[in-house]
Amino acid sequence: MTLLTIIRHAKSSWDDLALDDFDRPLNKRGRSAARQIGRELKNRRFRFDLVLASPAKRVRETLEGIEKGYGETLPVQFEPAIYEASKKSLFELVRRIPESAQAPMLVGHNQGLERLILALAAHDARGLRDRVEAKFPTAAVALIEFPEARWAEVMEGSGQIRELILPRELD
């Protein structure tokens, strides 16, 4: 069994329209949501041995907030290919996760992350996949469990969403 946590960056600011998309920071609500998600991940006893993340500013700031809420430094590896990545590219990235990683986290952007989750996860009785299909909002977290023992063996549709955490539901 393998577990993958996928997190969309928190809400970003559009105050400075002259900024390049890559350099957009989080807004106040985004910073708060990132800390809140970090606390929730700690409360639910999530553990991470590898974090693959887009190097975009809003992702970096999301991770900083998660770490503050979580109370620990995370083992982050920035992957430029995650920024503006397609579902196919993200799926290939998942299949290249080192076998030593038992609890990785992937942090990035939509539409790629939403499409990746929909490709990886089968429909479930609780309707979690359907909720992701309707919308995977900022700072949302999806924990997907796979029956495959190795990341290189993960197949589309083989996963099950075990947890879906949305910041607005934590208020």
Give me the CATH topology for the region 2-12+22-169: Rossmann fold (3.40.50)
Which residue from 85, 148, 79, 140 is spatially nearest to 120, judged by alpha carbons?
148
In the predicted model, what is the mean pLDDT of the chain? 96
Average pLDDT over residues 123-143: 97
What average pLDDT does the segment 61-71 reach?
A: 98
Helix (H) or strand (E) holding 33: helix 28-43
β partners of residue 18: none
Structure tokens at 84: 């503006």
What mean pLDDT do residues 35-40 have?
A: 98
